[in-house]
Amino acid sequence: MLDRFDGITRGHTASARHLYEDHQVPGWYAQGITVAYERARGARTLNQRMSGEFEVSVTKMVNGDTRAVVRAFADARRRAAWLADADRELSAGLTAALKARSSKGFVVRPDGQGRYRYKWGTTTVQFYLLTKSEGRTSVVVTHMKLPDAATVEVRRAHWRAALDGLAAFIDD
């Protein structure tokens, strides 16, 4: 169907809109089908955005509420402790971003969900804090505007190590 529509030439937005409007495919599914189609036709690879840039997301569940996570980021001694074994460049980038902000950094909603976003060189890093049951928090970091697939895997490993350190620190 998307081949007949000439989806690769017309682009992602037009293809997803075609599925949504002409075939009543719900929006989220239309996006997913379009991405899968683009990958199958070689127009996009895994972890690649429509723009051609790459991104990676890493998630870690921690045994602490949003306040505990925000304190672990905002307090320099706490942050140094959980980043002790993390990649030095990653640690320095996060620390510099937090120091540059006049506030504590995270925007936290009344329901406990939080978000923090910063520029790291030519890339962007965004954290989401999602409250879960029993005082736990899901920490999601998305590193965007990466130049290639190889960088995705390097950053995936770095962020996993950093979030493992965060979880271990909050558990102590």
Tell me: the pLDDT tens digits for 30-66?
999 998 998 899 888 888 887 889 999 999 999 999 9
Residue 29: pLDDT over 70: yes
Whether residue 65 contacts residue 137, with contact meaning beta carbons closer than 8 Å, is answered with: yes
Enumerate the CATH 3.30.530.20 domain ranges in the chain, comma separated: 54-171
Per-residue pLDDT tens digits for 78-113: 999 999 999 999 999 999 988 876 445 788 898 889
CA dist 82 and 32 (Å) reads: 36
Given this structure, which CATH class describes domain 54-171? alpha beta
Identify the pLDDT of residue 9. 93
Instruction: Evaluate whether 26 touches 123 at the Cβ level (below 8 Å).
Output: no
What's the pLDDT at 13? 92
105-155: pLDDT as tens digits = 788 898 889 999 999 999 999 999 999 999 999 999 999 999 999 999 999
For 75-129, give the DSSP string: SHHHHHHHTTTS-HHHHHHHHHHHHH-SS-S-EE-TTS-EEEEEEETTEEEEEEE
pTM of the complete model beyond 0.85: no
Q: How many other CB atoms are there within 10 angstroms of residue 72's CB atom? A: 21
pLDDT of residue 101: 67
pLDDT tens per residue across span 159-172:
999 999 999 999 86
Task: Mean pLDDT check: name the lowest of 19-23, 29-33, 40-44, 69-73.
Answer: 40-44
Closest CA to 44 of 31, 29, 62, 27: 31
Q: Answer yes or no: are the C-beta atoms of 38 and 49 closer than 8 Å.
A: no
* Residue in this structure with the two tokens 């490993």, named with its chain if needed: 157
User: Would you state the pLDDT for residue 58?
Assistant: 97
Closest residue by Cα to residue 50 from 28, 29, 35, 32: 35
Residue 83 has φ and ψ, to the nearest 5°, of: -95, 5
Q: What are phi and psi of 18, to 5 degrees?
A: -60, -45
Residues 42 and 31: their CA atoms lie apart, in Å, by 17
pLDDT of residue 49: 84
